[in-house]
Each structure stands twice: as C-alpha cells, then as structure tokens.
Structure 1
Amino acid sequence: MFTYSFLLSAGLLSLCLPLSANAQRAAIYQEQPGTWLASVSLGTTRYAGDMNEPGDFSHLRLGASVALSGAYRLSTHAVLRAEAQLYYIYGSHEHTRIDYNNLSFHSLNPDVWAGVQVDLWPTTHRTRPRSPYLLAGLGLTYMSPKATYQGHEYDLAPMHTEGVDYNRLPLIIRYGFGYPLVTDKRWRLHLEGTYTHVMSDYLDDLSTVYPDFSQMSSLAAALSDRRSEIGLPPNRPGAKRGNSDKNDGYFIVSVRGVYVIRTRWDRGYRRSRRG
C-alpha cells in the first residue's frame, strides 16, 4: 500500500509543480514526429484474481517487473510503442474469506505487447513541455503458475489440477496512463500505471471446480486440493474451486527511463531550431 500511495502522490505532486522558466529554450528538445525512443522500466506488480481480496490493502502481495520498449513518435499527439516485459506475481488463499482452501501460487512470466500512447496535449505546446498520456494495446503472455509442496516447486499447468489442459499463451489487453516527471535534453523519467487484462482465468491455475481425483496422479491431486495440509477433509469432485465469471489480470506501477535516439533528421531539426 505504501509503495502505491507514494508513487501516486509523486505523480499528482508533479502535476502541480511550476513549469521551468526555460520552457521556451527547451523547445528545441521537443519530440517531433519521426523521433525514435527507447526505454527501460522497473515496477511493482499486484495480481488480481481468485487468490486475493479486492480492497484488502493490508495484504497487497506485491511483486516486481522489468521491461524494455521501443517507440516511434507518429505525430505531436501519438506514439507507437512495443514492449517486452518480465513480471513476477503471486497469490494465496491466506487472509481471504476462503482461506480454508489453502491454495497458493507464484509465477514469473514474460509478456509482449504493442499499441499506442496518446498525449493529452501536443509536444509543440508552448507552455507545457510535459504532457500526461494514455496508453492501450494488445499482446501475449506466457503463464507459468507454480506452487511449493513439501519443500519442492512444481509447475502447475502440466498437472491439470482442474482436469483441463488450458492455453498457456493467452491474449492480453493493456491500458493505463503515465506522466513525465522529468524531461531533459535526451532523457525523460516517467511514472506509469497500467492494468493488464488476461484473456484467461488460469493465470493462477484456478478457475472452476475440483476434478475427480481418482483420475489424477497422487501428486496432481495433492496440488489440486491442499486442505489436508491444514487438517481439513478434502473437497468433493465438482465443489467450487475458483470463480470463472471473471478473467485474471495484474496491475503494474512503474518508473520508466526514456532515451531519445538521435538520428540524422533529429540533429538537422535541432540545428534549424537553434538557428
């Protein structure tokens, strides 16, 4: 909770900061159509699914992410952007209303996406060198939920813990917002918040009902129903295991370092502005 509150407060505070007295001079560093950008970002993640409680800010279960991206400014308002990311998430029934099911998972997953970033005002604005922006795009993620059982880590998807062989490479839809906290000649520092909607309910290996354990290996059955570890009787086949009404997803709040790639066109433009 502290991490999210701090980053959000920093973003809101930056909106109120006075603009630099050198805004006119900085016009030669404005991103014009045709500008190429590269960035790296570090962030904190929060999984949204069947193993957390919405609104429970005392057990956020924060993970981490790192991403690399490339972008091309299409116009003074729009940027085309592509990104590859590695993110860690985890969840547990502990501290939820259904803690008696005793399930948990953790996952280190890659994702890739491409989309558009839209500035709320143009880069050529005479008095606003920094612009908030919205972003949206489509991509793919590879799901690799794991669980620790009796001191060993197991990949859950091949275990078919609900008796189904689900797709581990689902489509994702990403959307969010960002704000440049710092702008320099060739560097920018952005604060960014996104939500990634996964077109699957198995990001956490949990969706529907408990399977027929007699059709599974003893290890798969033990990973599917872990109530016996806390002294409770096992669930019956067909008992509710997850909520299939809503797909899973994850939030990311990140800090992005953006580098303006100097090209021949870019150098010529800046020389003309200086003249």
Structure 2
Amino acid sequence: MRSNAIKLAHIIAAALFLILFNPCIDANAQGRSKFGNRYVNPFGNLSITAGAGVAYYMGDLQDGVNMKHLGLGPSISVGALYRLTEHFSARGELRFYKISADQQYSKNFQNNLSFKTFNPDINLGIKADLFSFNRQAPVNPYLIGGIGFTLLNPKAEIDGAWHSLAPLTTEGVKYNRLPLVFTAGIGVSFKTTDRLSLGVELCNNFMNSDYLDDVSTVYPNPDQLSSDLARRLSDRAPEIGEPARQPGFSRGSAKSKDSYLFLQVRAAYLIGNRTEAKERKKTRCPKF
C-alpha cells in the first residue's frame, strides 16, 4: 500500500507539471467564455464545499490489503475555495475521519494489537483545475495539494471498555498528538448548474508521525510504564496465549510514517465575488 501511495504522488506531480507548463490549455479562455461570451475576472470568486465518503488507514497494524477487513470508516469535510487565477484556487477544509485496524487479521496476529480513532484535521492548500474558470467545462479534472494538522486520539478496547492510548505511553514515548499532515490528491468535478458542481476525489494524507495507531517502534520495559492498564495495552500477546514480549522486541516499524486515504463524493457551490454580491443586494433591495 505504501508503494501505491508513492506512485500516486508521482502521478500527481506529473499531472501538475502538465497543468503548469502546457501553455496550449485554454490559451483563448477569454474568447471562449461561457458567461454569455463575457469574460469574468476569476480572482476573488468564493465557493463553499462539502464532501462525504470513506477513510482508509495505512500503518503498522497492516501488512497488506485484506478485502474482508479493510478497516474503512466514514470521512466528512466542509470548507471553501477562493479563486486565485483561471486554473488555481486556495482551499481550506475542516475534516473528520474514523479508521481502525486489528492485527488478528494480519500476518503479525501474534502481537494482538488493535486500535480505532475518530480524528479531526484542518487542511490548507491549492486546487489546480485542468480547464480554466471562464471555460466553464462540464467535466474538469483537478489536482490538490495541501498541508495541515490532525489531532491523534487512538483508542483500544480491553475488558469491555475503550481507553485512550496516548496518555498511557504504551511504548514509553510521549509523542506529539498534533502532527503535520501533507495532502496530495486527484479529482474530477461535473458542472450540474451555473453554480453547483459535483464530483469525486481521492487524496492521500501523509503524516509527519508514526503514531496514528499508537504503534511505531519496540516493546518497552514494562516496569517503566505508568500503570497496570498501560502494561496490558502495551503487550496484548498474553491475551491470546502467546508469551509476553521482551523489551526491545519489534512492536512496529518507524521506517515509514502512517497515512490515511480519503475517497469522497464532493459538492461545490459558487457564491461569487464581492462585486456580484453587491449587485445581487441592489437587485433585492431597490432604493426608491
């Protein structure tokens, strides 16, 4: 899965290069505008956005794609687009996602680790449309790139209760719970009305942390953990009859950071710019 994520990043970079350096795309956008053959300055046009779909986890508790146990969860987003040029918009979003994983379905089942999490994140970035704003193309592929933060809150269940893992420092490490997230993705939008567009988007979110799942390096010395609960949730092998793990035994791998993938159905509604808003206000409230 990690190699697939790298391939996705390469594809996105190549497509972005095409958009940036192909001067032939919509070179005559003004002359072909569909706003009644009238050129509209794209700068400052504001759209509100929303998305809903699924989130997929990629990290230490997976060793491949198990179609029966993908650990998918919901993802939702709300945000805005602020048009900068014919092809580029600034983008900001607040997003929420839920993911999970359980090693009983992996090759490392003997470690018996599992987690679930419901996290918020905030992301700021750029959206690059293949076709220009004034062209008003009915189908418009695009790329996105961004940076933001997510709040980590992994939990695990034991004795019928769920416990937050980060405060327990199950690996003897107090990690940053607000890591940077770098986002890259592709999508396509379909114009349904003059103002409303619907579409589909796939994006990968690369964390600057390996603790999305509370698993990264090795088993700690249990005597250094803060409580019996921390010791039980750190080493869960004895629960399934496996011997307790020795300090230094591999619990995860810090070679690759964790990431999470979104596949969403998207909607964007064009509000317009300040000039259009003033004109609409004058129309609604004529002066006598």
Tell me which amino acid in the other structure corresponds to 2:180. Answer: L
Cα displacement (A) at 1:63: 0.6
- C-alpha distance in structure 2 between counterparts of 1:78 and 1:103, whole Å: 43
Matches within 5 A, 1:58-137: 58-125=68-135, 128-137=137-146
- C-alpha distance in structure 1 between counterparts of 2:229 and 2:103, whole Å: 20
Alpha carbons 2:97, 2:119 under 8 Å: kept: yes
Q: Deviations over 1:173-216 (max 9, x none)?
A: 00101111343122111211100000000010000000001122
Alpha carbons 2:90, 2:125 under 8 Å: kept: yes
Alpha carbons 1:142, 1:168 under 8 Å: kept: yes
Q: Could you tell me which residue of structure 2 aligns to residue 171 of structure 1?
A: 180
- C-alpha distance in structure 1 between counterparts of 2:234 and 2:80, whole Å: 41
Q: Could you tell me which residue of structure 1 aligns to residue 253 of structure 2?
A: 243
Inter-CA distance 200–84: structure 2 relative to 1 (3 Å threshold): same
Inter-CA distance 264–213: structure 2 relative to 1 (3 Å threshold): closer
> Does residue 149 of structure 1 match 2:158?
yes
Q: Deviations over 1:127-159 (max 9, x none)?
A: x33310000011011100000110111000010
- C-alpha distance in structure 2 between counterparts of 1:177 and 1:77, whole Å: 15
Q: Could you tell me which residue of structure 2 aligns to residue 252 of structure 1?
A: 262
DSSP 3-state at the match of 1:131: strand
Alpha carbons 2:138, 2:190 under 8 Å: kept: no
Unaligned runs of 5+ in 2: 1-32, 281-288
Cα displacement (A) at 1:259: 1.1
Q: Could you tell me which residue of structure 2 aligns to residue 199 of structure 1?
A: 208
Alpha carbons 2:82, 2:89 under 8 Å: kept: yes
Alpha carbons 2:204, 2:260 under 8 Å: kept: yes
Q: Could you tell me which residue of structure 2 aligns to residue 214 of structure 1?
A: 223
> Does residue 261 of structure 1 match 2:277?
no
Number of corresponding residues? 247
- C-alpha distance in structure 2 between counterparts of 1:207 and 1:31, whole Å: 50
Cα displacement (A) at 1:25: 7.2
- C-alpha distance in structure 2 between counterparts of 1:252 and 1:25, whole Å: 34
CA RMSD of aligned residues (A): 2.2
- C-alpha distance in structure 2 between counterparts of 1:192 and 1:66, whole Å: 12
- C-alpha distance in structure 1 between counterparts of 2:73 and 2:62, whole Å: 13
Tell me which amino acid in the other structure corresponds to 2:145. Answer: A
Matches within 5 A, 1:13-92: 24=34, 32-92=42-102
- C-alpha distance in structure 2 between counterparts of 1:26 and 1:81, whole Å: 27
DSSP 3-state at the match of 1:122: coil
Q: Could you tell me which residue of structure 1 aligns to residue 147 of structure 2?
A: 138
Q: Could you tell me which residue of structure 2 aligns to residue 7 of structure 1?
A: none
Calculate the TM-score normalised by the size of structure 2: 0.80
Tell me which amino acid in the other structure corresponds to 1:139. Answer: G
Structure 1 segments of 4 or more deviating over 4 A? 23-31, 267-270
Identity over aligned residues, as a percent? Answer: 38
Cα displacement (A) at 1:268: 8.4
DSSP 3-state at the match of 1:132: strand
Inter-CA distance 32–156: structure 2 relative to 1 (3 Å threshold): same
